[in-house]
A = this chain, B = another copy of it.
Amino acid sequence: MTVLVLTCEEDLTADIVVATLHELGVPLVRLDPADLPGRVSLSAEYADNDFHGYLKSGERMVSLNSLRSVWVRRPGVPGARSAEQSAWITAEAEQALYGMLSCTHARWMNHPTAAAQARYKPWQLHIAHRSGFLVPPTLLTSFPSAARQFAATHRDLVVKSVSGKHPGDPPMVLPTTRISPDTDFSGVAAGPTLLQRHVPKEADIRLTCIEDQLFAARKKADPEEVDSRFTHHGTWEAAEVPDAVHRAVLAYMNAAQLAYGAFDFAEDPEGAWWFLECNQGGQFGFVQLETDQPIAQAIAGWLAVKSAP
Protomer copies: 2
Partner of A162, one of B46, B96, B117, B190: B96
Chain B residues near A114 (CB-CB < 8 A): 113
> By the criterion CB–CB under 8 Å, are A122 and B140 in contact?
no
A 114-154 binary contact with B (CB < 8 Å = 1; else 0): 10110111110110010000010111111100100010000
> By the criterion CB–CB under 8 Å, are A191 and B45 in contact?
no
> By the criterion CB–CB under 8 Å, are B139 and A44 in contact?
yes
A 242-275 binary contact with B (CB < 8 Å = 1; else 0): 0000000000000000000000000000000000
Chain B residues near A166 (CB-CB < 8 A): 88
> By the criterion CB–CB under 8 Å, are A192 and B37 in contact?
yes
A231 at the interface (CB under 8 A from B): no
Partner of A139, one of B45, B93, B97, B167: B45
Known: A89-B191, A122-B102. Contact between A137 and B47, CB under 8 A? yes
Chain B residues near A135 (CB-CB < 8 A): 46
**Cα(A286)–Cα(B146), bound, Å:** 44
The A interface, classified by DSSP as helix, strand, loop or mixed, is mixed
Chain B residues near A103 (CB-CB < 8 A): 122-123, 125-126
A12 at the interface (CB under 8 A from B): no
> By the criterion CB–CB under 8 Å, are A140 and B43 in contact?
yes
A173 at the interface (CB under 8 A from B): no
> By the criterion CB–CB under 8 Å, are A45 and B150 in contact?
yes
Partner of A44, one of B46, B97, B116, B141: B141
A225 at the interface (CB under 8 A from B): no
Which A residues fall within an 8 A CB radius of B?
A: 36-37, 41-51, 53, 56, 79, 82-84, 87-89, 91-100, 102-103, 112-114, 116-117, 119-123, 125-126, 129, 135, 137-143, 146, 150, 161-164, 166-168, 189-192
